[in-house]
Amino acid sequence: MDHEADAHRTDLMTITRYVLNEQSKHPESRGDFTILLSHIVLGCKFVCTAVNKAGLAKLIGLAGETNVQGEEQKKLDVLSNEVFIKALVSSGRTCILVSEEDEEATFVEPALRGKYCVVFDPLDGSSNIDCGVSIGTIFGIYAIKDGVDPKIEDVLQPGKNMVAAGYCMYGSSCTLVLSTGKGVNGFTLDPSLGEFILTHPDIKIPKKGKIYSVNEGNAKNWDAATAKYVEKCKYPQDGSPAKSLRYIGSMVADVHRTLLYGGIFLYPADKKSPNGKLRVLYEVFPMSYLMEQAGGQAFTGKQRALDLLPTKIHERSPIFLGSYDDVEVIKALYADEGKK
Ligand SMILES: O=P(O)(O)OC[C@H]1O[C@](O)(COP(=O)(O)O)[C@@H](O)[C@@H]1O
Ligand SMILES: [Mg+2]
Ligand SMILES: [Mg+2]
């Protein structure tokens, strides 16, 4: 083993070091956010390990099946939900948790309450689990004055009020992308250290991209603005080259690529789903927050996504997000349609 080389690695910027550095800029801070984040990071490491072992451990399959030891097996999304609920509650810094997997919000018991509300999709991209394609966890964080008397309205807030948002992608590497409202940073898990290392500092999305990402199987039900937009991507009339289509079907993976390479990701409304598919609190808001923090835009077809005021915890919204210039085009098309 090359100890010399290993010694050099101790100056790496781990996510813990990064958050502690940020905390030290606020002398009044009691470190509550740092503790909360360390519990989220732990949850991501657990789920990453479970995802990597999914085929071997027969985690894939129906919840309720039993394995050879007679233990009940949990489907990966059920397991991930339990991991994050436990990690968040045991942080002692949360008061309300909203998970895609739970119909109702979880109100943390009074003895363990803190001031943060966390909304999350414990495992995003579930249709890709069984074939080993990238999946992820998405989270957003609101802060209330104190966690003494939390109410559901504390999470039914516009996304612009979030204090942090991020996702972890379980792909060819495990990558955690985070914003605390001062830009976006990406950390990659070094399995030999068990630490997330800052590998993508200050991510900025390209102003314009060459890729569009959408489930085109829904095209026959799109509205006119979406249909015109995708037509422009394929047959541009302004002399620019046609865009390439990339669609994984895991929001985390499709948004991650969009953030790094530029372009646009859209899950629009259609005749069958007038509110689109993706959930406002734990899919649309965190990803829109990251996009804006990286210099891009996020639009619902009617308004800035982060201005939406959700009325239900599992509400859905159409979403168009990505490079600034690309989102400008779809905004203009919706504005034109509105004039007709
Ligand atoms: O299969 P479709 O309709 O294209 O939908 C894909 C979208 O659905 C999702 O898988 C929904 O998320 P969940 O897997 O968490 O339910 C997104 O990740 C993805 O963007
Ligand atoms: Mg999802
Ligand atoms: Mg999910």
Residue type, 326: D
Whole-number pLDDT of residue 71: 52
Question: Which residues of the chain form CATH 3.30.540.10?
Answer: 3-200
Ion ligand 3: protein residues whose beta carbon lies under 5 Å? 100, 121, 123-124
Q: How many angstroms does the Cα of residue 101 sit away from the middle of ligand 2?
A: 10
Decide whether any atom of ligand 1 lies within 6 Å of the 121 Cβ. yes
Tens of each residue's pLDDT in the chain, 340 residues: 455 555 556 678 999 999 999 888 888 888 999 999 999 999 999 999 999 887 776 666 666 655 555 555 568 889 999 999 999 999 999 999 999 999 999 999 999 999 999 999 999 998 888 888 999 999 999 999 877 789 999 999 999 999 999 999 999 999 999 999 999 999 999 999 999 999 999 999 999 999 999 999 999 999 999 999 999 999 999 899 999 999 999 999 999 999 999 999 999 999 999 999 999 999 999 999 999 999 999 999 999 999 999 999 999 999 999 999 999 999 999 999 888 7
Is 127 touching ligand 1 by the criterion CB < 6 Å?
Answer: yes
Domain with CATH 3.40.190.80 in the chain: 211-339
Check if the beta carbon of residue 263 is closer than 8 Å to that of residue 323.
yes
Token pair in block for residue 148: 């003494």
Q: What's this model's pTM, rounded to 2 decimal places?
A: 0.94
Q: Which amino acid is at 157?
A: Q
The whole-angstrom separation of Cα 80 and Cα 302 is: 34
Q: How far is the CA of 250 from the centre of ligand 1 (A)?
A: 6
The residue whose C-alpha atom lies closest to atom 3 belonging to ligand 1 is 215
- As a CATH number, domain 3-200 is 3.30.540.10
Beta carbon of 154 within 6 Å of any ligand 1 atom: no
Q: Atom 5, ligand 1: which residue's CA is nearest?
A: 249
Amino acid sitting at position 315: E
> For 211-339, CATH number?
3.40.190.80
From atom 20 of ligand 1, which residue's Cα is the shortest distance away?
Answer: 251
Would you tell me how many other CB atoms lie within 10 Å of the CB of residue 21? 10
Cα–Cα dist 236/259, whole Å: 22
For residue 1, the model assigns a pLDDT of 46
Ligand 1 contacts CB of residue 249 (under 6 A) = yes
Name the closest ligand to CA 249. Answer: 1
Give the closest ligand to the alpha carbon of residue 99.
3
Which of 123, 127, 215 for mutating ligand 1's site (highest number of atoms within 8 Å of CB)? 127
Atom index in ligand 1 nearest the CA of residue 123 equals 15
- Note whether 79 and 88 are within 8 A (CB): no
Ligand 3 centre and the CA of 146: distance in Å? 29
Q: Which residue has the tokens 């059920």?
A: 78
Return residues with CB closer than 5 A to ligand 2 (ion): 121, 124
Name 26's Cβ contacts closer than 8 Å, sequence gap at least 6: none
